[in-house]
Amino acid sequence: MHSILLGFLLCVPLVSSVALYEQCGGEGYTGLKSCDWPLQCFRRSRWFSSCQVSCPGADWECAGSSASTKAPALASAWGQCGGEGWTGATSCAEYPCYARSRWYSQCRPDCPADWICSTTSTTTAPPTTTTAEPEIIDEEVTDEDVEELELYDPDEYDDEEELETDDFPDPSEVDLDELQKKEEELNGEFEPEEEETRRRRRRNMVRATSCKANGKSGTCISTSSCKGTSIPGFCPGATNIQCCVSSGSGSSGSSKPRGGLCGNYAGSTISSIKGNGNVAYSVVKIKKNHLANPGSYSLGPTKSDNTMTSSTACAFDKMATAAKKSGVTITIASGFRTVARQQYFWNCYLSKRCNGGNLAARPGTSNHGRGVALDLNTNCGKQYGARPSCGGSRVYQWLYKNGHKYGFTRTVKSEPWHWEFRGVGVGRASFS
């Protein structure tokens, strides 16, 4: 029947009408809207309609209208076949149905490397929205899971969004540690790791030591990280590094983690590093398996943001462990940042001679210098609109679903990778 109609169209020239497959409507379209007889103008979307013998498939809006013939039960090649909110066909007439994200699946011959389906076996049945669900599972978090974490205190933060931020590229695309190292080598400023390690100990880090105050054993840590009683005069270093004695304990039998640490970070060495406002913060080294670049582990604090405050470390470890059970690996590209490290980026911004001249927050203003900010491996690029383009990122989807349950939320609209530990009870950012 179709061949007869097409043959008739070739023999009878018509004027002022639209030919087969050509556009006949859509928002902003100003051309002809009448189709060559006996074609009809079928609507695919708000922006496009074209002249067809019949409605092409279930992925066209016309499939649900009275003007169309019965919609096929299978989606056509390259057509949508799934996604949250999708009401059309979920099986394909040709090719498997591959999931790009929670919101979109497509009939296509292969699965691109950055799609969700690339993490599942393509030899089994074609993935659908339901098969992708374990990748973005909504975790049930018990009180026991977060009992050692700080609670969200809205009075501690003036603004939900951090105002003075760095305009660095996605950390999944650029390794700032390696870039800084290469630039300093070219300028003759690079210090070997061994020398940097020795200088670091003398300069601005104080190793945590055990202490004894009033007959009770404790640990020399920052007063802000002490979960018991801070007693001055028994520890070396800055005045805020005091002997922390667990409440009601005269021995090492306390059930509280040392220095507020827990999980894989329990027992880690706590050091004191100066951040924003020249305040000394108690930090621990980020474990190699938690670093996006494990090679950064041995670098000094002015060459890499490879530490976290003890409270942030405890929260991140709980969150990363839960994500791992869902098959999602969360790593850190940038953690606590010293004033000297931020000064390097600030100088690069002013001189345009290093770090690509990218905009950097003034030293002392970035929340990386407070130890609450982490740049994570979301791999979604910058956010320009109302919501990020992170549909293909399993890490981002998991964080969106579960990050706030462990006290993490986004605070920088342009950076989907920038997450901050505000405490359990914080809500999702409006732009996430």
Rounded Cα distance between 420 and 402, Å, is 14
- Strand runs labelled E in 116-267: 210-213, 216-222, 229-231, 241-245
Q: To the nearest whole number, what is the mean pLDDT of the chain?
A: 77
- Strand runs labelled E in 263-341: 271-274, 280-285, 307-309, 332-334
Mark residue 85 as left, alpha or beta (left: phi above 0; alpha: psi -120 to 50; beta: remaining). Answer: left
- Find the helix or strand (DSSP H, E) in which 98 lies: strand 97-99
Q: Please say whether the beta carbons of 171 and 374 come within 8 A.
A: no
Query: What is the DSSP secondary structure assignment for residue 368, as one 8-state letter?
Result: G
In our burial notation (b when 16+ CB lie closer than 10 A, e otherwise), range 140-152 reads ebeeebbebbbeb
The top-scoring range by mean pLDDT among 42-51, 251-260, 345-354 is 345-354
pLDDT of residue 335: 92
pLDDT of residue 7: 54
The top-scoring range by mean pLDDT among 26-40, 56-70, 278-292 is 278-292
Burial class of residue 371 (count of CB atoms within 10 Å of its CB; 0-12, 13-18, 19+): buried
In this prediction, residues 160-178 reach a mean pLDDT of 76
161-203+288-421 to CATH, choices 3.30.1380.10, 3.10.20.30, 3.30.70.270, 3.40.50.1820: 3.30.1380.10
109 contacts: CB under 8 Å, gap ≥ 6: 95, 96
C-alpha triplet 121, 123, 126: angle, nearest 5°: 80
User: Tens of pLDDT along 346-396?
Assistant: 898 888 888 888 888 888 888 888 888 999 998 888 888 888 888 888 999
What's the pTM value of the predicted model, to 2 decimals? 0.57
More confident residue, 267 or 75: 267
Q: Which residues pair with 210 in a beta bridge?
A: 219
User: Tens of pLDDT along 58-72?
Assistant: 777 777 654 333 334
Give the pLDDT band of residue 133 (cuts 50, 70, 90): very low
Rounded Cα distance between 216 and 252, Å, is 9
pLDDT of residue 163: 59
State yes or no: pLDDT of 14 exceeds 70: no
Q: What is the dihedral of CA 137, 138, 139, 142, to 10 degrees?
A: -160
Locate the domains of the chain by residue range: 2-64, 80-136, 161-203+288-421, 208-268
More confident residue, 363 or 89: 363
pLDDT of residue 316: 94
State yes or no: pLDDT of 80 exceeds 50: yes
State yes or no: pLDDT of 25 exceeds 50: yes
Rounded Cα distance between 309 and 370, Å, is 8
State yes or no: pLDDT of 332 exceeds 90: yes
State yes or no: pLDDT of 103 exceeds 50: yes
C-alpha distances out from residue 272 to 194, 230, 238, 310, Å: 20, 15, 9, 11
Query: What is the DSSP secondary structure assignment for residue 393, as one 8-state letter?
Result: -
State yes or no: pLDDT of 134 exceeds 60: no
Q: Can you give the three-state secondary structure of 333-344, one letter per residue?
A: EECCCCHHHHHH
The top-scoring range by mean pLDDT among 8-22, 244-258, 315-329 is 315-329
pLDDT of residue 2: 52
